[in-house]
Amino acid sequence: MLSENIRAIRKSKGLSQEELAVKLNVVRQTISKWEQGLSVPDSDMLIALSEVLETPVSTLLGEKVAEEEADGLKTLCEKLEVINLQLAKRKSARREALFWLLVAVCAAVLICFIVLTALGSQYLDWDWSDPELAIVGTAYHAFEWVFIRIAPLLLMGAVAGIILIKKKG
């Protein structure tokens, strides 16, 4: 119905009856009568109404515009809700994976410290002239040298990451 379409399109454009009346150079009561179905605009006013509402005359004269717009809006809202839920699940899964990765890094660093302490080897006291020990000793020395310098930073970073993840979650 024309009356329902005028009301629905006016509201969708965010216009009050008074604002629409001013734009059409009519009184508010005229708009009210059109929307109540008590009168109809003449052909010239119908064209002016379509221009002000930026809607084709055929749409104004068509039926159930409000329901189609509402159904489309409802469908769009449902799709957006599904997308938001999927994004939230992905974010949560990434945060959980990062948390467990940082826990694993902490555990690995601590295990390496324990193993190095348990071995109690002072790599500087090794007999570097023994060919078999020299190769293994050199690799072990390289590991210890890198580990001792990087492990504390790695451990502090991982612990800080775990704390930050748990605060945000």
**Residue 65 — very low, low, confident or very high, per pLDDT cuts 50/70/90?**
very low
Give me the half-sphere count of Cα atoms (radius 13 Å) on the Cβ side of residue 9. Answer: 27
Q: What count of residues does the chain have? A: 169
The answer to whether residues 98 and 34 belong to one domain is no
- More confident site: 31 or 67: 31
pTM as predicted: 0.39
The answer to whether residues 22 and 55 belong to one domain is yes
The answer to whether residues 32 and 102 belong to one domain is no
Q: How far apart are CA 12 and CA 53, in angstroms?
A: 9
Residue 27 lies in a domain: yes
The answer to whether residues 104 and 152 belong to one domain is yes
The confidence score (pLDDT) of residue 69 equals: 57
Q: What is the CATH number of the domain that holds 39?
A: 1.10.260.40
The answer to whether residues 59 and 95 belong to one domain is no
Residue 130 lies in a domain: yes
Tokens of 137: 């000793």
The confidence score (pLDDT) of residue 62 equals: 75
Tokens of 119: 């071995």
Residue 126 lies in a domain: yes
What does the pLDDT average to over 107-122? 77
Residue 153 lies in a domain: yes
The answer to whether residues 114 and 150 belong to one domain is yes
Assess whether pLDDT exceeds 70 at residue 41. yes
The answer to whether residues 101 and 150 belong to one domain is yes
- More confident site: 132 or 91: 91
- SS3 letters for 39-103? CCCCHHHHHHHHHHCCCCHHHHHCCCHHHHHHHHHHHHHHHHHHHHHHHHHHHHHHHHHHHHHHH
Span 141-167, pLDDT tens digits: 788 888 888 888 888 988 898 888 888
The answer to whether residues 93 and 155 belong to one domain is yes
Assess whether pLDDT exceeds 60 at residue 121. no
Domain coverage including residue 22: 2-63
Assess whether pLDDT exceeds 70 at residue 85. yes
Residue 59 lies in a domain: yes
Residue 71 lies in a domain: no
The confidence score (pLDDT) of residue 124 equals: 45
The answer to whether residues 32 and 92 belong to one domain is no
Q: How many domains does the chain have?
A: 2
The answer to whether residues 48 and 91 belong to one domain is no
- Residue % of the chain over a pLDDT of 90: 17
Q: How far apart are CA 144 and CA 119, in angstroms?
A: 12
Residue 78 lies in a domain: no
Residue 125 lies in a domain: yes
